[in-house]
Amino acid sequence: MRTFRIAAAAALLGATALAAPAHADVKIGLLGGVSGPIAAMAPAMIDSANLAISQVNDAGGILDGQKLVGVVGDSACNPQNATDAATKAVNIEGVVAVVGPHCSGAVLAAANSVTIPAGIVIVTPSGTSPEITSLKDNDTVFRTVPSDDFQGRALARTLLERGTKKVAVAYLNNDYGKGLAESFRAEFEAQGGEIAGYAAHEGEKASYRSNLADLASGGADTLVILDYGDGSGLTMLRQALENGFFENFVGADGMKSDAPIKELGAENLETFLASAPVGEQSTSLDAFSKAFSDIGGDPSAIFVTTSYDAAFMLALAIEKAGGDKAKVAASLREISNGEGEPILPGEWAKAKELIAAGTAIDYKGAAGEHNFDEAGDVPGAYALFRVSGNGFEVVSEMK
């Protein structure tokens, strides 16, 4: 009787196993600055990545009809938080790849401590520090946004072309601020500009008035703030306006945030400019913009195109790799290299069919062409923006 019961139980378990889904969900991490200095930017970035995920699932799912799931983690633009979030995503959630983290210092920490040792591919949509380029990453770290070496130099050239010959530079003392400041300074001085003040500052201080007074003592009327508009960059901008230290203000992508407009008022930011990456006008950008608008998103929000592209490209790479995380990096390069059948944002069913047939595909991103170089970097386009109403409008392209 006991033998019969064991056999019956085994048969029941076998039947249950056969009735269960053959495959588990495929997970990718979405590690972003949910809290911290870019908290106002992060929701739109995560929403755009989730748009890509929902398009995959709505068009039949990934691999053998499995569901693609985005696991959100808060990297908080902080190295320790990023390491913790990446550890949980990789070791607990079992993600196959990661979109993010959002900030450069978080990317460097998570990559060095977690994802590189684990062989997990990460694609950051907004980590722009030049230091990311030189990571010893075994070809596992990519980005869909250009390096700040390009942005800093392009911003310097653009200001000089606009007649700004003398500036003071305040930069946040982290990987993002330092890398951007160094490239800006090198190009500005090389092209004949004068840096009248140049200083790092720590984040989240109550007052930067002494820092601002020192920077203003050099006689520049323009302050370049390389910081985050949701954090210490906002405090510095407010106090500079309140005390009349400078007349004109310039930021990079970290300062192109709604927070300064909401906190200080558009009427007080008429002399504030900010640079940021932009998607080149294309059918791909139009397709993304419509899809994101349809779910209530703002297609002009910072880093939404690069976030969408990162998620959609990882889905394509995982599909091509057959779900094997060890093959995702090579597959990521294969699905976007300028060769093959064009795939636009949202064209998951078409891509899946072509991949199954062994046909080469070439993803045309919302943010532009993502043909990775040896370091996992991409070319890109930038523009200079000014405040307009409750948002920003383009002043000029940056080259």
Q: What is the 3-state secondary structure (H, E, C) of the chain?
A: CHHHHHHHHHHHHHHHHHHCCCCCCEEEEEEECCCCCCCCCHHHHHHHHHHHHHHHHHCCCECCCECEEEEEEECCCCHHHHHHHHHHHHHHCCCCEEECCCCHHHHHHHHHHHHHHHCCEEEECCCCCHHHHHCCCCCCEEECCCCHHHHHHHHHHHHHHCCCCEEEEEEECCHHHHHHHHHHHHHHHHCCCEEEEEEEECCCCCCCHHHHHHHHCCCCCEEEEECCCCCHHHHHHHHHHHHCCCCEEEECHHHCCHHHHHHHCHHHCCCEEEEEEECCCCHHHHHHHHHHHHCCCCCCCCCHHHHHHHHHHHHHHHHHCCCCHHHHHHHHHHCCCCCCEEECCCCHHHHHHHHHCCCCEEEEECCEECCCCCCCCCCCEEEEEEEECCEEEEEEEEC
**In terms of pLDDT, which residue wins out, 30 or 379?**
30
* 23 pLDDT more than 70: no
In tens, the pLDDT along 320-364 reads: 999 999 999 999 999 999 999 999 999 999 999 999 999 999 999
The reported pLDDT for the residue numbered 281 is 85
Enumerate domains of the chain plus CATH numbers. Answer: 26-147+281-369 (3.40.50.2300), 149-277+381-398 (3.40.50.2300)
In tens, the pLDDT along 90-112 reads: 999 999 999 999 999 999 999 99
Q: What's the chain's average pLDDT? A: 93
pTM here?
0.88
The reported pLDDT for the residue numbered 19 is 40
pLDDT band at 140 (very low <50, low <70, confident <90, very high): very high
